[in-house]
Amino acid sequence: MFYDAIKARYPQLQIISTVGYDALKSNAIPNPVVDVIDEHYYRNANDMYRNAFQYDRYDRKGPKIFCGEWATREGSPTTNMNAALGDAAWMTCMERNSDICIMSCYAPLFVNVEPGGMQWASDLIGYDVLRAYGSPSYWAQVMFSKYLGDRIVPVEAVDIPKQKLDRNDEANAVFYTATTDTKTGQTFLKLVNAVGDTQKLTIKLEGAKKVKSKAKKIELKSARPEDTNSIDNPRNIVPQESTQKVGKQFTITLDPYSVTVLVVED
């Protein structure tokens, strides 16, 4: 009734429903009519890894998705590196499926780190009366937003290493997505190594006519997943730039507990 009334008066508006994708698909609501579904996910890192291919399985003919609230809730008052890895794994899912995941919004955003100032743990940005700093999750989002093309590049991944989450469950140890900028010719390959072992990967760029021999490499990493930033040590974990030898086929070694972006140019 609301949908019909709003569309009759304002046909240009997109109607966002909070009922959830699973409820719609289970026919719990008969004959649902929505344009966009608002989904919320507050998870730990392992649950982010378990669900890092969630949107790959969604119906391409169904409603679009607005991930209206999401966060990996680990670390206090701001997130730690483990949360940044979970966030990055989830962002590969949203970016890779941006044909249906059209919007997203991280929450919670800010926390007062003074004693008694925190209402909600695991926030993105910490502050006091004079200073502010970004958490590892903040820097992971900076990397994902800064190095982003306008077209998704399909990635075929084989023999991806696995990690044990508990006695009876496992998930990928490496997560990935790629986009290309059709104006500049740059391709942005994003890789997340969620475990404490290095990962040696072979990358083949099929369809590339030519590739410059060196790519910019941006890396966010830490020796321990519980490492973090703070008001007194705000840049303990921040992205570092270097170069990587590349070609139509090349090998890259991912450091333990790392988020990596390669900027490949033709």
Is residue 28 in a domain? no
Domain span at 82: 35-265
**Residue 14 in domain:** no
Q: What mean pLDDT do residues 164-172 have?
A: 91
Residue 48: inside a domain: yes
Task: Determine whether 236 is exposed, middle or buried from the number of CB atoms within 10 Å of its CB (0-12, 13-18, 19+).
Answer: middle
Is residue 4 a part of any domain in this protein? no
- 207 Cβ neighbours under 8 A, 6+ residues apart: none
User: What integer is the mean pLDDT of 197-226?
Assistant: 95
Cα–Cα distances in angstroms (integers) from residue 23 to residues 36, 53, 94, 219, 236, in the given order:
14, 19, 20, 39, 43
Q: 97-152, pLDDT tens digit by residue? A: 999 999 999 999 999 999 999 999 999 999 999 999 999 999 999 999 999 999 99
Residue 1 maps to a domain = no
Q: Which CATH number characterizes residue 201's domain?
A: 2.60.40.1180
On whether residue 179 sits in a domain, the answer given is yes
Kindly report the number of other CB atoms within 10 A of residue 244's CB atom: 20
Report angle CA 176, 180, 183 to the nearest 5 degrees.
165
146 lies in a domain? Answer: yes
- 54 or 166, higher pLDDT: 54
Residue 42 lies in a domain: yes
Q: Cα separations (Å) of 135 from 203, 258, 263?
A: 30, 15, 23
Q: How far is CA 20 from the centre of its chain?
A: 20
pLDDT at 76 over 70: yes
Counted domains in the chain:
1
**pLDDT for 34:** 84
pLDDT tens per residue across span 7-53: 999 999 999 988 777 777 766 666 667 899 999 999 999 999 999 99
User: What is the predicted pLDDT for the residue at 151?
Assistant: 96
